[in-house]
Amino acid sequence: MINKMDASFRFEKALRAIDRLEAEKIFMESCSDTLPSIAAELLISSALERIGDDWVKGKAALSQVYMSGKICEDLINSMIPPTETVLKQSPRMAIAVLDDFHLLGKRIVYSTLRANQFDLIDYGRRSAEELIGRVKEDRIEILLISALMLPSALKVAQVSKDLKQAKVKVKIFVGGAPFNFDDTLWKEVNADGMGINAGEAIRLVSNIKGGKV
């Protein structure tokens, strides 16, 4: 029987050191006595949340957040059979950057959510008009928007207004540097919430599933 606390600690340590082989080894060990999807929940969710929280506190770097998410995303994609990858039965969810050419934030949140077995569509970079069209067409229930540039963050207001006017029932969650530097900005642009890091994206999405938002 693998000591779960010990495995969790070692897994997080391996992620922080960007030691892919060690992370894979610990994950495999954990899978020896439980389903991969359960092992993923035990190891991956908490590790990524703690690394994300430490980034906000200045105790971890963005490169560690990115690489950790990527390692975990690869683990999920390669080690859990496709039938198990949507076990959480996510709401219909998509992620995009809005008129912004900085894609790293979106990539990190996407990896983190996938590593936590959420299913979501990656819209890539979109104009406000394109994004609104896709949200309607795909009947998206949760829209995550990542922004690095202030003008892009401000454009969320237009997306929110147009979707509300069209009576589209979608929750908009935002994240990225402008929102981190001004903690009232998400309200100003009429988002439904903001995540200061990728771990908070997991919490926001989980709250929707749990009916808390």
Partner 1 sequence: MNSMERVLQTMQHKEPDRVPLFLLVSMHGAKELGLSIKEYFSKAEYVVKGQLLLRNKYNIDCINNFYYGPIEVEAWGGNVIYREDGPPNSGTPFIRGPDDIKTLKPPDIKNTKCLAKVLKSCSMLKAKVGDEIPILGVVMSPFSLPVMQMGFDNYLDLLYGEPELFEQLMRINEAFCVEWANAQFETGSTAIAYFDPVSSPTIIPKDLYLKTGFEVAKRTLAQINGPTATHLASGRCLSIVDEIAETGSSVVGVSALEDLSALKSACQGKLTILGNLNGVEMRRWKPEQTEHIVKECIAKAGLQGGFILADNHGEIPWQVPDEVLHAISDATQKWGNYPLDWIESGE
User: H helices within 32-115, ranges in order?
Assistant: 36-40, 46-56, 62-79, 104-115
**Nearer residue to partner 1 within complex by CB, 39 or 144:** 144
For the CB of residue 41, give the shortest distance to partner 1 in the complex, in Å.
26
- Minimal CA–CA distance to 143: which of 184, 103, 195? 195
**Token output for 83:** 């039938």
Tokens 């080690």 — which residue? Answer: 79
Q: Which span sits near partner 1 by CB under 8 A: 75-83, 143-151, 163-171, 197-205?
A: 143-151
Instruction: Round to whole Å and give the CA distance between 46 and 58.
Output: 18
Instruction: Round to whole Å and give the CA distance between 54 and 46.
Output: 12
For the CB of residue 140, give the shortest distance to partner 1 in the complex, in Å.
24
Instruction: Find the Cα–Cα–Cα–Cα dihedral 83, 27, 48, 210, rounded to 10°.
Output: 40
For the CB of residue 164, give the shortest distance to partner 1 in the complex, in Å.
23
**Token output for 180:** 């981190």
User: How many of the chain's residues bind partner 1 (CB under 8 A)?
Assistant: 28
Q: Could you say which residues in the range 28-87 bind partner 1, by CB under 8 A?
A: 55, 58, 60-64, 66-67
**Nearer residue to partner 1 within complex by CB, 60 or 204:** 60
Binding mask 150-169 for partner 1 (x = CB under 8 A): xxx-x---------------
Q: Out of 23, 40, 42, 107, which residue is the one contacting partner 1 (CB under 8 A)?
A: 107
**Nearer residue to partner 1 within complex by CB, 36 or 176:** 176
Burial class (CB in 10 A: 0-12, 13-18, 19+), 3: exposed
Q: Out of 38, 87, 149, 168, which residue is the one contacting partner 1 (CB under 8 A)?
A: 149
Q: Does residue 127 belong to the site contacting partner 1 (CB under 8 A)?
A: no
For the CB of residue 67, give the shortest distance to partner 1 in the complex, in Å.
6
Backbone angles phi, psi at 168, to 5 degrees: -85, 125
Instruction: Round to whole Å and give the CA distance between 124 and 105.
Output: 11
End-to-end distance of the chain based on CA atoms, in angstroms?
Answer: 38
Q: Does residue 181 belong to the site contacting partner 1 (CB under 8 A)?
A: yes
Q: Does residue 21 belong to the site contacting partner 1 (CB under 8 A)?
A: no
List contacts with partner 1 (CB under 8 A). Answer: 18, 55, 58, 60-64, 66-67, 99-104, 107, 149-152, 154, 177-178, 181-182, 184-185
